[in-house]
Amino acid sequence: MVKEPRQPVAVFQCGLTALMVCVLAGGCSRHQYRLEADRDAECLVSERTNSAWLLPDRTVAAASHSRMADLSDPDCGPLPPDDPAASVYMSRPYKSGGADVWRQRGSLPEVEFSHWQEFLPVNEDGAVRLNRAGSMQLALLHSRDYQTEVESVYLQALPVSLQRFQYDTQWYGRSGLGIANRGLRTSAQSDTLTLTD
């Protein structure tokens, strides 16, 4: 007598495998890493911001109605245009074909957002209406220097976030009582504490 294979066990194993692939693939994307970095940097900046100044919350990306807006996909956007002299060399660097992903991503026709003037506050004559507060808002919205400073604060918060992560206690993945620091080490350091019976 031949035994029949266990059908429910095979279905359960396939289902469990598919579930694990979905769970593990969801957290390993550029989108997820970018959002986590944004949250960490925003938390660090707000932690050190003095409440007396009442600065409004602002993302590191330029506003969608700014002349510096980038409306493409932030995780895998098109490449910016090269200047004419460099594009001669960059079409085939070192006489190689280049990566296929370069052509798949496409390229931007220009770096600056061309429709920013449509968002200006104009009156019926087409003149831009400005008062003191409006001119300050427009200056901050379109200032490359201000955007550079915002990006600089963001870029300085990222290493702080990494250092805090490395300093924090890391789960070792075992059921014992040992802990280990998985951060950067030199040969003279030993950060492992092991309790034995």
Give yes or no for residue 27 having a pLDDT over 60: no
Give yes or no for residue 35 having a pLDDT over 80: yes
Cα 36 to Cα 80, 96, 159, 172, 186, distances in angstroms: 25, 36, 13, 22, 28
* Pick from 12-16, 99-103, 147-151, 179-183: least confident: 179-183
Give yes or no for residue 194 having a pLDDT over 60: no
Domain ranges of the chain: 10-71+114-166, 76-112
List the one residue out of 184, 180, 163 whose CA is nearest residue 171. Answer: 180
Q: How far is C-alpha 126 from the geometric centre of its chain's CA atoms?
A: 39
Q: pLDDT higher for 46 or 98?
A: 46
- Number of residues that this document lists for the chain: 197
Q: What is the pLDDT of residue 79?
A: 82
Q: What is the pLDDT of residue 143?
A: 92
Tokens 């092991």 appear where? 194
Each residue's pLDDT tens digit, 70-120: 888 888 888 888 788 877 777 667 777 666 667 788 888 877 777 888 888
Rounded to two decimals, the pTM is 0.64
Q: What is the pLDDT of residue 197?
A: 46
Each residue's pLDDT tens digit, 146-169: 999 999 999 999 999 999 988 888
